[in-house]
Amino acid sequence: MDAPRAGPTILQKVFYGLGQAAQSGGFDTAVGFIFFYYSVVLGLSGTLIGAALAVGLVFDALVDPAIGSWSDNLKSRFGRRLPLMVLSIPPTVICVGLLFSPPAGLSQTLLFVWLTTFAVAARCAISLFHVPYVALGAELTSDYAGRTSVVVYRSAAGVLAGLAITAVGYTVFFADGGLQRAEGYPGFGWSAAAVLFACMSACCLGLWRYAAALPQPEQVAQPMWRRLPSEVIEIFANRSFRLLFISAVITYVAQGLNATLNQHSFVFVWLIKSENIQFISYAFVVGLLLGVGSAPRIQARLEKKTVVLIGLSLLIANWLVMQGAWLAGVYTPTGAAALLPMQINSFVAGIGLGFVSVAYPSMMADAADEHEHLFGRRREGLYFAGLGFANKAAVALGVFIAGRALDVIRFPADIAKTPGAVLPPEVQTSLVWVWGPIPALVAVVSMVIFASYAITRTRHAVIAAELRTRAGG
């Protein structure tokens, strides 16, 4: 580690934050529209859609470590992160637009091939930007608290980008029942792609001087395919990374399982009208922004580890309190009466997820400093690729478990497709268990594993001082 660097200015943090639009405002926001578009409007089998999106997610998770290693070892006059970020912009924009623009008249097989091809291509292109992007965030400042501030800008910008694209979709292209009209989707897709182009380009242009001045890696003689396995083994040799990685995997499995069944639970258990579900989402986003915005102030007084444990506790409360009361028959509101309680529930979950989403990446940057202290090389790219892999692979597993659970509880799809359908009580009960208490139990396991994470503010200060001494010597 070099001598302490002057931290980024507020403007540089804003430019950096815009880059999060690639992930949060890109494919992550578009997936909900894609599933509805291909299943309802284009008539593609739901099984084929799920398979296509899962393949994209798997490819995305697998390429992350290679991209991380590439960005860790790349040398150029623009730094080691920025060239890959710039390279990713054209394919990301084109693939997101083409996802919403399949040629008319394709057969089921060709439509599946189109969706799979551009789901994989879009995911890989976004990763080519996002993996070096989050690693760059760890390099913008070496300050323990300053890293949290950088993550806050990134998280807030990502949430706002996702909201902006969603709002554009519903108000411009899908108003008055437009979700069921095919003509709105290509315009929406290319508009979303234009937003991504603007945000990603602004991020790169705003940071290129800063990124180019960052320390360059030592020259590596081995090709990536030969060095990557040993690099992966090396990062897992760091206990702090192992704890963060395993805890993140378990947490994201629980989150993926719960989030996948949100719509089913709101409609078939709490009997909330579909047009009102958006207000639950808005409450979640408000909570998320509050959690992201307040995390730095809380971390100024508490350890990052404590912030994560608080966040996980709030998520568990979201998955357990209302569901437990319903299962016990103590509180069973439905329809309009259930809307406010669910908004409060989602608001609390948003705060918890905001804490976790800020603290995890900030702690990963601290663990990368510890890695340099232990092994003599910086591996931010691989560290954040590991965090990204944990997210994507675990969410995919959570989605798979949710889909399998619907079959196990014999969810009656033939009945459910009728507006106003009422499910058998035993199916409702099983659905609530899978949606709430089971994810809560999984999250408790994550908390137990994470509790032994040992990098504190004091420990990080010692590591940073030793690295500066080593660099000066």
Structure confidence by residue, pLDDT tens digits, 16-68: 888 887 777 666 777 667 766 776 678 776 677 777 777 777 777 777 777 77
- Taking only the tens place, the pLDDT of each residue in 441-459 is 999 999 999 988 989 889 9
Q: What is the pLDDT at residue 3?
A: 47
Could you tell me the two tokens for 379?
């591996």
Q: Locate tokens 């054209």: which residue? A: 90
For 348-360, b where at least 16 C-beta lie within 10 A, e where not — what string?
bbbbbbbbbbbbb
Name the CA dihedral angle for 150, 157, 287, 256, rounded to a multiple of 10 degrees: -90
pLDDT score recorded for residue 26: 62
Domains of the chain in start order, with CATH, are 1-221 (1.20.1250.20), 223-473 (1.20.1250.20)
Cα 244 to Cα 387: distance, rounded to the nearest angstrom: 8
> Are the C-beta atoms of 232 and 383 separated by less than 8 Å?
no
- What is the average pLDDT across 102-107? 88
pLDDT(9) > 80: no
How far is it, in rounded angstroms, from Cα 315 to Cα 199? Answer: 30
pLDDT for 382-393, tens place per residue?
787 777 777 777
Confidence of residue 117 (pLDDT cuts 50, 70, 90): very high
Work out the angle at residue 273's Cα, subtended by the Cα atoms of residues 254 and 333, and round it to the nearest 5 degrees: 70
The answer to whether residue 396 scores a pLDDT higher than 80 is no
Q: 222 falls in which pLDDT band (50, 70, 90)?
A: low
Residue-wise pLDDT tens digits, 145-168? 666 677 777 777 787 887 777 777
Contacts of residue 301, Cβ cutoff 8 Å, sequence gap at least 6: none
Answer yes or no: are the C-beta atoms of 367 and 308 closer than 8 Å: no
pLDDT of residue 439: 93
Q: Which residue has the higher pLDDT, 54 or 96?
A: 96
pTM listed for this prediction: 0.69
Whole-number Cα distances in Å, 292 to 40, 148, 205, 280, 308: 35, 10, 25, 18, 12
Task: Give the pLDDT confidence score for residue 366 in this predicted structure.
Answer: 87
Q: Taking residues 127-133, report their average pLDDT.
A: 83
Q: Which residue did the predictor score with more confidence, 357 or 111?
A: 111
CA distance 225 to 245: 23
